Amino acid sequence: MAETKKTTAAAVEAKAAPKKAAKPAAKAATKVKMIRIQYYRSKNSTPFKHKAVVKGLGFTRLNQIVERVDTESTRGMVKAVPHLVRIVED
Protein backbone atom coordinates (compact mmCIF):
# COMPACT_ATOMS: atom_id res chain seq x y z
CA MET A 1 0.00 0.00 0.00
CA ALA A 2 1.13 3.51 -0.75
CA GLU A 3 2.12 5.65 2.15
CA THR A 4 0.96 9.27 2.17
CA LYS A 5 3.34 11.98 3.27
CA LYS A 6 2.10 14.54 5.71
CA THR A 7 3.47 18.01 5.19
CA THR A 8 3.70 20.66 7.81
CA ALA A 9 3.41 24.38 7.27
CA ALA A 10 7.18 24.78 7.81
CA ALA A 11 7.95 22.21 5.11
CA VAL A 12 5.63 23.94 2.65
CA GLU A 13 7.27 27.32 3.32
CA ALA A 14 10.74 25.83 2.85
CA LYS A 15 9.77 24.46 -0.56
CA ALA A 16 8.18 27.71 -1.70
CA ALA A 17 10.22 29.71 -4.20
CA PRO A 18 11.90 32.84 -2.88
CA LYS A 19 9.94 36.01 -3.49
CA LYS A 20 11.01 38.13 -6.41
CA ALA A 21 12.04 41.75 -5.94
CA ALA A 22 9.49 44.40 -6.78
CA LYS A 23 9.39 45.55 -10.40
CA PRO A 24 11.06 48.89 -11.15
CA ALA A 25 8.84 51.89 -11.71
CA ALA A 26 7.15 52.01 -15.10
CA LYS A 27 8.87 54.05 -17.77
CA ALA A 28 7.49 57.47 -18.50
CA ALA A 29 4.76 57.35 -21.10
CA THR A 30 6.22 58.13 -24.50
CA LYS A 31 4.13 59.85 -27.09
CA VAL A 32 3.32 57.50 -29.97
CA LYS A 33 3.49 59.01 -33.44
CA MET A 34 0.17 58.71 -35.27
CA ILE A 35 -0.89 59.24 -38.88
CA ARG A 36 -4.33 60.09 -40.22
CA ILE A 37 -5.43 58.17 -43.29
CA GLN A 38 -8.45 58.88 -45.49
CA TYR A 39 -10.26 56.29 -47.62
CA TYR A 40 -11.32 58.37 -50.64
CA ARG A 41 -11.77 55.97 -53.60
CA SER A 42 -14.04 52.94 -53.73
CA LYS A 43 -12.53 49.47 -53.54
CA ASN A 44 -15.06 48.14 -56.07
CA SER A 45 -13.40 46.55 -59.12
CA THR A 46 -10.06 46.20 -57.32
CA PRO A 47 -8.15 42.98 -56.59
CA PHE A 48 -9.04 41.04 -53.46
CA LYS A 49 -5.68 41.90 -51.87
CA HIS A 50 -6.41 45.62 -52.16
CA LYS A 51 -9.80 45.12 -50.52
CA ALA A 52 -8.12 43.19 -47.71
CA VAL A 53 -5.60 46.00 -47.15
CA VAL A 54 -8.38 48.60 -46.93
CA LYS A 55 -10.22 46.42 -44.42
CA GLY A 56 -6.99 45.81 -42.50
CA LEU A 57 -6.48 49.54 -42.12
CA GLY A 58 -9.89 49.65 -40.43
CA PHE A 59 -11.97 51.43 -43.04
CA THR A 60 -15.68 50.70 -43.24
CA ARG A 61 -17.04 53.70 -45.19
CA LEU A 62 -15.91 55.86 -48.08
CA ASN A 63 -14.36 59.23 -47.10
CA GLN A 64 -13.69 57.90 -43.62
CA ILE A 65 -10.60 59.16 -41.77
CA VAL A 66 -8.86 56.88 -39.26
CA GLU A 67 -5.86 57.42 -37.03
CA ARG A 68 -3.25 54.68 -36.90
CA VAL A 69 0.14 54.27 -35.24
CA ASP A 70 2.86 55.38 -37.64
CA THR A 71 4.81 52.14 -38.17
CA GLU A 72 6.55 50.62 -41.17
CA SER A 73 3.76 48.09 -41.58
CA THR A 74 1.06 50.76 -41.65
CA ARG A 75 3.07 52.83 -44.13
CA GLY A 76 3.52 49.72 -46.28
CA MET A 77 -0.22 49.09 -46.32
CA VAL A 78 -0.85 52.68 -47.41
CA LYS A 79 1.84 52.32 -50.08
CA ALA A 80 0.11 49.19 -51.42
CA VAL A 81 -3.11 51.07 -52.18
CA PRO A 82 -2.17 54.73 -52.84
CA HIS A 83 -4.98 54.96 -55.42
CA LEU A 84 -7.57 54.25 -52.69
CA VAL A 85 -6.25 55.95 -49.56
CA ARG A 86 -4.21 59.05 -48.74
CA ILE A 87 -2.39 60.40 -45.73
CA VAL A 88 -4.13 63.51 -44.40
CA GLU A 89 -1.90 66.34 -43.24
CA ASP A 90 -2.90 68.00 -39.97
Domains of the chain (ranges, CATH numbers):
31-88 (3.30.1390.20)
Residue 77: what pLDDT?
Answer: 97
pLDDT on residue 40: 96
Q: What is the pLDDT of residue 29?
A: 72
| 63 vs 80: CA distance, rounded Å | 18
Quote the pLDDT of residue 89.
83
Is this model's pTM higher than 0.85 or not?
Answer: no
- Measured CA to CA, the distance from residue 40 to residue 22 in angstroms comes to 51
Residue ranges of the chain whose pLDDT lies below 70: 1-28, 90
DSSP 27: P
